[in-house]
Amino acid sequence: MLKAKFTLKHFYILSQIVFLAGCAVHSVHNESYVSEVLSARTGHELKLGEEGRQTSFPEGISLEDGLNEDEAVAIALWNNAQFQADLVQMGYARADLIEAGMLRNPVFSLLFPLGPKQFEATLSLPIDFFWQRPKRIKFAKLNAEQVADNLIQHGLNLIRHVMSAYAELEFARKRAAITAEEANLQREIADIASERYKVGDISGLENTAFRLEASLTWEASVRIARDAELAEERLKNLLGLGLEKIEIQLKSESDSTELNKLPSDLLEAAFAARPDVRAAEIAIEAAGQQIGWERSRIFNLTSVIDANGEGKEGFEMGPGMQLELPVLNQNNGKITRAKAELTQAARQYIAVKQRIASEVKDAQTHYTAAWKALDILKKDVLPAAEKAAANAAEAYEIGAISYLEFLDFKRQLLTSRLRNTEAELDLRKAKINLEYSIGFKPFTE
């Protein structure tokens, strides 16, 4: 072993270097970062640092005065159990970062003097952290950033589901009201048909047809009313209120179905705004860092302090080195694995961009088609049905048509309103999906 004069001063200096190198490392990509990004896109923050199952609401939001779509999003980001569970992944990433900054413990060995054997002690300090630790830390920080961006994407997924569930509940209740009215109308038509059958104005077959139509309409109204109840339960579950015995009252939303002004190139806007694109980019960078880290692990160097109880000058202490010779093992397996992960990350990045491109194009196509369908219903079908019903009412008052014929016009109007309601829901959901596909990025009016 190489011997040199090694004093306590040298030992103190070395220990301080090791201590400073082992200081804790931090990353800005944490739960607060996820909350800030989602707040910038939605105006709502996350519930952080609270434990327990007690349901709470963001400040200024209550169910007593009804619930609008924006409040529903705020409550979901605050309470949704699955999203709160997903946020724990930031704790894992933080633990990995701490682990990356930690140093291996020094190894102290002691040989006792027995017989002719003199007392000997050795203290081994790994110093390969000088070139390995920075690479480990950078890899861990990239991993934390990737986890944060994935969680932001999970938040956007939750927002889309909440907005869709809110729209489905709102329009399910509208459908239920219209179909209940239609069922009552159809029953009244069937009762009139039954009276006409009794006096011989219609045949028994015609009377049966009216009764069948009334029964089918009533069955549909019961089914749609049940669908509205199920839609409410789905929304409550997304809001984290699935265990609460409450009924959600919705505030009336604006009938506006127009999107704000969108960027000219939706695809480029999506690539710039979607967190999953950024996460895929980080995965490539992290995989590259992983290769460098695995290569740095080929050389493992340990500093040694050796002390002897009885030397030429009595107690002796001196430094040395211990180098693992990369002859039989050059960490080839892990380096090869890291290269494969880099290739996979690069291909996954392309797959993510292709998926987003498909989502944007599909959402834009569905939005355009839904808007055209609703436009036809609002400008042509619904006004024509309303005018026909109004004319029928006037004709019935002067005796030009029978009451049964008048009811048939009312039934056609209800059918048109029901179709219009369904078209409004289609457009509303198409708008939500289009906004989601481009990352819910705020747009200018």
Going along the chain from its start, the domains and CATH numbers come out as 8-47+56-437 (1.20.1600.10)
CA-to-CA separations, 231 to 58, 162, 275, 433, in angstroms, rounded: 23, 11, 29, 18
Q: CB of 352 within 8 A of CB of 437?
A: no
- Answer whether residue 442 shows pLDDT above 60: no
Answer whether 231's CB lies under 8 Å from 174's CB: no
Give me the pLDDT at residue 1, please. 37
pLDDT, one tens digit per residue, over 12-54 is 555 555 555 555 577 788 888 888 888 888 888 888 766 555 6
pLDDT score of 65: 81
Percent of the chain's residues with pLDDT above 70 = 80
111 against 160, higher pLDDT = 160
* pLDDT tens string 223-270: 999 999 999 999 999 998 888 788 888 886 655 555 556 667 888 888
The percentage of residues in the chain with a pLDDT greater than 90, rounded to a whole number, is 17
pLDDT value at residue 204: 86
Q: pTM of the full predicted structure? A: 0.79
What is the pLDDT, as a whole number, of residue 342?
A: 85
The tens digit of pLDDT for each residue in 273-304 reads 888 898 888 888 888 887 776 666 666 656 66
